Amino acid sequence: MSDVGLTPYLIVAAVLFVCGIVCMATKRNAIGVLMGVELVLNGANLNLIAFSRYGQLGFDGQAIAMFVIVLAAAEAAVALAIVLNFYNNHLTVDVDQARQLNS
């Protein structure tokens, strides 16, 4: 049985991370930005678990990833509530339309 090794996993994680970053930077829809954040978090989680399997991190990697998933879900819930609240007040979810506060 062939073993994939650590580096390929890390590279997949890096691709996810970068896609997420670009997504956060370029999307104007607030929910699109949040999707970018999810991608970034998944890249990090994949890193942690790959290190936990092949690296010296051991089981701690899985434990940390577990909490990250939970925290990310909580963050997404609040973010979505804020987006809804914004939509109720402004009737748009375009982040670039949020410019009332620029002076």
Partner 1 sequence: MTVTQLLDRFISVDLLRSLEIFCPELILSATVVLLLLCRMIGVDRRIPACWIALAGSLAAFLGVVVQLRFMQSPGLELPSDFFGWAIGGAVRGLAALFHLTEEGVGTPGPYFTGLMMHDALAVMFRLGLLLLLVLTLSLTVLTGLPDQEDGADFYTLLLGAVVGMLMATGVNHLLMLFLSIEMMSVPSYAMVGYLKGRRQSSEAALKFVVYGAGSAGVMLYGLSLLAGLFGTANFHEFAARFTVAMAGEPFSLTSGVVILTLLGVAMLFVGIAFKLSLVPFHFWCPDAFEGASAEVAGFLSIASKAAVFGALLRFATAFTGDGESIRQLTSYLGVGLAVVGAASMTLGNLAAYTQSNLKRMLAYSTIAHAGYMVLAVAAMMVFRSAAPGGLLGSRDPLQESVLAVEGLIYYLAVYLFMNLMAFAAVAFIRNETYREDIDACRGLITGNFWTQLVCVALLLSFASLIGIPPLGGFFAKFLIFRSIFVAGYLHPVLWGVLAIAGLNTVISLFYYFRVMRAVFILPRAENQRPLEMPGVVAAYSVIIALPIFLLGASPLQARLSETARAISASLFY
Partner 2 sequence: METVIFTIYALAACGGAIAVMVSQNVVRMAFWLVISLGSVAGLFFLLHADFLGATQLLIYVGGTVVLLIFGVMLTASGPMLTIRSGPGEVVLGGLVGLAVLGMLVFGMLSVDWESQQTRMYSAAAEEGRGERSMGYNPEGEGNTARRLGAALLGVRFDRDLGRNSETLSTGYLLPFEIVSVHLLVVLVGASYLARTKRRRPNPLEESLES
Contact set for partner 1, span 59-98 (CB under 8 A): 60-61, 63-64, 67-68, 71, 74-75, 78-79, 81-83, 85-86, 88-90, 95, 98
Least distance from partner 2 to the Cβ atom of residue 102, Å: 17
Contact 51, 57 (CB under 8 A): yes
Of the pair 4, 71, the CB lying nearest partner 1 is at: 71
Question: How far is residue 6 from each of residues 26, 39, 47, measured CA to CA in Å?
Answer: 31, 20, 9
Coil, helix or strand for 91?
A: coil
Report 17-76 residues binding partner 2 (CB under 8 A).
17-23, 25-29, 31-32, 34-36, 38-39, 42, 45-46, 49-50, 52-56, 58-63, 65-67, 69-76
Selected binder of partner 1 within 4, 5, 55, 69 (CB under 8 A): 55
Question: How far is residue 35 from each of residues 28, 79, 96, measured CA to CA in Å?
Answer: 12, 11, 17
Question: Would the CA dihedral through 87, 92, 95, 99 be positive or negative?
Answer: negative
Least distance from partner 2 to the Cβ atom of residue 83, Å: 6
